[in-house]
Each structure stands twice: as C-alpha cells, then as structure tokens.
Amino acid sequence: MVSNFEMLGRDNVDDLEAILAVSNSDVDELVHAVKAESDALFTWDYTRSRPALVKLYEKAKMSQWNATTDLDWSIEVDQAAVALANAGQMPGGGAMNQDMTGTPFEGWTEDQWVQLGIEMQNWSLSQFMHGEQGALICTAQIVETVPWIDAKYYAATQVMDEARHVEVFAKYLDEKLSGHYPINAHLKMLLDDIIMDSRWDMTYLGMQIMVEGLALAAFGFMHQMTTEPLLKKLLRYVMSDEARHVAFGVLSLQEYYKELGSKEIRERQEFAYEAAVRMRDRFLQQEVWERMGLDPKEVLPLVLADETRPVFQGMLFSKIVPNCKKLGLLDAGDGWLRERFTDLGVIQFEDWVDTGEEYTTLDEVARDREAQSA
C-alpha cells in the first residue's frame, strides 16, 4: 500500500507547514512545459456502439454557446459592491466567527475586509481559469488516447467547451475584475501529474471526475451566492458544459473499470485520494494572504478554526464522492477510498445524485433557446 508520504510528500495529511512548503517557483514564466508520455491511438472501428456516449455527443453539439454573443459584456461590475454582497450571503456576514483580539486581523477596517473579498474572488476565478486550461489540454489528450470512436467524438466537443471556458474567465478577470493570480502550486502539481500519466483512464479520472467534479460543485456554490448578473449567467452556462464533462467520465470509466483487476483499481483509488487532497489544499488560498501582507502560517490556523469552513469545504466534494461510488471506487477491495473520504469528512455525500444522471437538468443553454423560440 502506498503511504501518505509517497503520495503527498508528508505523513500527516493535515500538516499545515508541509502544505505551505509547496510553492509555485516559476510564477513569472509565461510557458510551462510538461512531458506527456501517452500514445496516440487510432481506431479503425467506426461502429457507434456506445448509446450513452452517442446521446452525450448529440447533446453537446446542440448545447454549444458563444461567449461573445450569448453573454452581456456591457454590464458594469463594481468589485467592492460584489464583495460586500458576497459577504452578506455567507454565514456571519463573511467575517470569521471568532474573537480577533491578538490576531493579525485585530484592528482591520471595513475597507480591508472588502479588499480581502475582492482578492478572494480574483483568486477563485483565476484558479478556475487555470484549471480550465488544464482541462483543455487533458481533453485534447483524451481525443488522442481513448480507444473508442464515440469517446473521441465527444471529447472533441469538450475541447471546444474548455477553450470557451478559458476565454470567458480570462475576459471576466481582465475586463470586469482587477487581474488574475498565478496558478496555485497544489493545482499545478495535480495538473502536471494528470498530464504526465500515460494511462488514458487516469486522465479521465483525474480531470473528468476529480478536477471537473470539484469545479462543478464550486461553480454551483458561487452561482448560488453571487448577485452579479454577468457572472451568474457565465457560471450557469459553464455549469451546463461541466455537468456533461463529468458525465462523460462516469459513463466511460464505469465500463472500463469492470475490466480491471484489484491491483489496478487500488491504483485508481489512491490517485483519486491524492487528487482530493491536492484540491483541498489549494483552497487554503495562501497567495491571497500573502498579497494582503499577512503570513499564511499565522492566518491559516484561524481560518481553519472558523466554524463555517467545514461546511463549504465539504460541499466542494458533493459531486466527486457519488461519482466515485458509481464507479465502484469507494468500496472496492477493502473499502480503502471510503476510509480516506471518511477521514477527509466528505463521505456524507456518497448517496447524492451522480452526474451521470444529472447533466440534463443543468442544460441552461437548451432552456434559454427554448424560451427564445417560444
């Protein structure tokens, strides 16, 4: 069995000092190279033999949207007003619900709390943008590496989706907010691992199930919270696409994992756990605290002690856990992944609806077109 140290570089999954020691060393570089070792597979079998993927492909073709014309970019965005409105949607008004006496936050003014809200939104949307570029690269790999023609067809539509997502987040950050943050080191490490793995199903698992699954939950949370109309519409359209992407992973891997032995399944369980921890670690937002002039080692124990944080952090896994269950990863072997997700405090989502069944209910693009033609 692989140890926490071998997977994560630390024995204790909650070792804050070790988590913060992971840093992005090339934030000033414009290009980041990752060595991909996977084979590009041709298939000479053009038979449309997977009806669920055919249906998903047809849905994807009908649900394409144009970021330039389908969103109203004339809407003005007041970042301070958005930060205040977001705080008002959070329990306790967005501030940490504890005594700040003797902490770095003692004496903070309202303007500083508002600026923190602005930076957090800039950071969150920046990481979404970087993650979407990771999805763009990974899905292009899937077109090359997956052996089924139906999966190649669908993955090609997702490449277009991901390019559009990178486009809209970059445009929103640069034109409506105040610029973007470099990629978080934990997210970068995870994306590198996914791209470097030569096994096509690991690309599916890492990107379609784990990264996209967490993104879908995070987009839903932000969509529910924000009152800013452009972002709300943008997120709803992106969620329509993301639900199909996660469903693509579920439908494809569900078939493939039935063919794998116990050793191969354990490797997938370990990969899913490592990805979950990496994604959890990135939400510590250490780059925000540094930009605000604070030492993350002093601030993060206070952040982690906030009573509202476990609820938010847990909800981010509300799409991942039921999808892992549907794939048979939770209880395979001795239930290794179930134990790990229990330790992370997210196992309570195992019976929530999986995305293989949910994606049609999130198709906002289709609903808008039906309304326009009525």
Return all residues near 25 (Cβ < 8 A) that are at least 6 apart. Answer: none
| pLDDT classification of 312: cutoffs 50, 70, 90 | confident
∠ CA 251-254-257, rounded to 5°: 145
Residue 236 is assigned to a structural domain of this protein: yes
75's tokens = 């809407």
Cα distances (angstroms) measured from residue 119 to each of 114, 181, 300: 9, 9, 16
Q: Is 309 helix (H, G, I), strand (E, B) or coil?
A: helix
How far apart CA 172 and CA 302 sit, in angstroms, is 31
Residue 132 is assigned to a structural domain of this protein: yes
Residue 178 is assigned to a structural domain of this protein: yes
| pLDDT classification of 88: cutoffs 50, 70, 90 | confident
pLDDT digits over 2-13, tens only?
Answer: 888 888 888 898
262 vs 37, more confident? 262
How far apart CA 354 and CA 360 sit, in angstroms, is 12
| pLDDT classification of 302: cutoffs 50, 70, 90 | confident
Give pLDDT, residue 93: 44
Mean pLDDT (whole number) for 301-322: 83
pLDDT surpassing 60 at residue 264 = yes
Lowest mean pLDDT among 161-175, 199-213, 228-242, 295-309: 295-309
Question: What CATH number is associated with residue 281?
Answer: 1.10.620.20
174's tokens = 């640069």
User: Are 150 and 48 spatial neighbours (Cβ–Cβ below 8 Å)?
Assistant: yes
**Pick from 131, 97, 104: which is nearest to 312 by CA?**
97
How far apart CA 254 and CA 344 sit, in angstroms, is 24
Find where tokens 């090359």 sit.
Answer: 144
How far apart CA 273 and CA 330 sit, in angstroms, is 10
Structural domain for 329, as ranges: 109-373
pLDDT surpassing 80 at residue 309 = no
Domain count, the chain: 1
306 vs 123, more confident? 123
35's tokens = 């060595």
Residue 10 is assigned to a structural domain of this protein: no
Residue 51 is assigned to a structural domain of this protein: no
219's tokens = 């987009």
Give pLDDT, residue 357: 61
> Helices in the chain by DSSP H: which ranges?
4-8, 16-21, 51-62, 79-89, 110-145, 149-175, 185-196, 200-203, 212-225, 229-257, 262-282, 286-291, 296-305, 309-315, 320-326, 336-343, 355-358, 364-373
User: Are 94 and 86 spatial neighbours (Cβ–Cβ below 8 Å)?
Assistant: yes
Residue 145 is assigned to a structural domain of this protein: yes
Mean pLDDT (whole number) for 81-95: 70
Backbone phi and psi for residue 37, each to the nearest 5 degrees, phi listed first: -110, 5
To the nearest 10 degrees (0 to 180), the angle between helices 185-196 and 262-282 is: 160
Mean pLDDT (whole number) for 59-71: 94
Give pLDDT, residue 92: 46
Lowest mean pLDDT among 2-11, 231-240, 250-259: 2-11
pLDDT surpassing 70 at residue 82 = yes
Using left for φ > 0, alpha for ψ between -120 and 50, and beta otherwise, residue 99 falls in beta
In 320-356, which positions are buried (b, 16+ CB within 10 angstroms) versus exposed (e)?
bbbbbbbbbbbebeeebbbebbeebebbebbebebbb
Residue 83 is assigned to a structural domain of this protein: no
105's tokens = 């936050």
Residue 6 is assigned to a structural domain of this protein: no
